[in-house]
Structure 1
Amino acid sequence: MRYFLISFFLIGFFSCRPKPIDMGAVFSADVFKSDRNACDGLRTSFKEALVANKDSLIGHSENDIFSTLGRYDLQMLDSRNQKVFIYFLEAGPQCESVAKPSESPSMAVYFNATKLVKEITFQDGVL
């Protein structure tokens, strides 16, 4: 009985891992994740795919975003203390130090109180 419970727990644990969201053949989650702060210039080619698929990201959990886009480059809180993840799309001053102001194109992912994506915007610089 004990081994049954352990195996049941392990099967449940590994089957509940978030899977990357399908963003089409043009988007590579591994390449996007590897280019922190867009300093290597690899994220530039994914900008059109992100704009085209931004609606497919809405409603997904924070964990789904981590598995698709990786760790954020910058995290902020909006006026209602809800999380905003910033992903830079082109190299800029943020490559020297994230604290430096940057006008590089970026994507902001807004989460609601239940940690689901509620909005995605594209802008130059950080909010």
Structure 2
Amino acid sequence: MKFLLLPLTVILLSRCSPAPDTFGKLDLKKWRGDRGGCNGVRDAILPDFRAEVQNLKGQTANTLTELLGRPDINQIADRNQKFYIYFLEKGPQCDQPGAKSNSRSVAIRMSAIGLATEITFQNGLP
């Protein structure tokens, strides 16, 4: 019985570790701290984000949320897919949460099995 408890304890303790501060070149603390892109920090570190796009693809929804923080908008698409949208610049979403915004954003398409499959940049929502 003791042998079964040790692996379970290790698994539970490893899940309690804090979110990482960096992902390759990307400073995740700065990214997460700029909710809605309202402080201009995400826009300033956008080149670092673009450098890690290929490494973000294939990550699970839980991993992405741990790395990038809760999305500014979680949009449901067809066929059980979702988009995690993160705004890159200040806009109406800063003054009025939930307001329609055409501010530059990045959208991460999540497949039906919860993996990031596509990352696009656009104005507003995809």
TM-score range, shorter chain: 0.7 to 0.9
Distance 2:80 2:4 in 1: 40
Match in the other structure for 2:39: 40
Match in the other structure for 1:123: 122
The C-alpha deviation readout for 1:9-47, integer Å capped at 9, x for no partner, is 11022335686596333x211111111101122111121
Q: CA deviation at 1:98?
A: 2.8
Structure 2 unaligned segments of length 5 or more: list them.
none
8 Å contact from structure 1 (residues 21, 64) kept in 2: no
Match in the other structure for 2:105: 106
Paired letter, 2:49 = L
Paired letter, 2:53 = K
Number of residues paired by the alignment? Answer: 125
8 Å contact from structure 1 (residues 20, 64) kept in 2: no
Structure 1 segments (4+ residues) deviating >6 Å: none
Paired letter, 1:110 = R
8 Å contact from structure 1 (residues 74, 86) kept in 2: yes
Matches within 5 A, 1:1-127: 1-2=1-2, 4-15=3-14, 20=20, 23-25=23-25, 27-127=26-126
8 Å contact from structure 1 (residues 44, 89) kept in 2: yes
**What percent of counterpart residues are identical?**
35
